[in-house]
Amino acid sequence: MVRWVSTKIIDYGFVGGWGIRYGSKHGVVYNTSGRIGIAIKTRKGEKLVIGTKKQNKLKQVVNKLKKDSK
């Protein structure tokens, strides 16, 4: 199981189309259409971004997870 130390919603900009993109300043980007996603940093220092077209729903889920983890 992967454990993360931080998560935040970011605008990751243009990364060259849909799909998996390696080598960005955000680590591995799992890109959908759009530029918004959740940036995750693991305890091992790995970084990744998961893109979404549903920015508002993503914010709701992240906020719920933060409340539940307290």
Tens of pLDDT along 16-68?
Answer: 778 899 988 899 999 987 789 999 999 889 999 999 988 889 888 888 877 77
CA 70 to CA 49: how far, in whole Å?
23
Which structural domain range is residue 48 located in? Answer: 4-68
Is residue 10 scored above 90 in pLDDT?
A: yes
**Please, how many CA atoms are within 13 Å of residue 36, restricted to the half-sphere of its CB?**
9
The whole-number pLDDT of residue 29 equals 92
Strand spans (E) along the chain: 4-11, 19-24, 27-31, 36-42, 47-51
Number of domains into which the chain is organized: 1
CA 7 to CA 47: how far, in whole Å?
10
CA 60 to CA 45: how far, in whole Å?
25
The whole-number pLDDT of residue 53 equals 87
Q: What is the pTM of this model?
A: 0.78
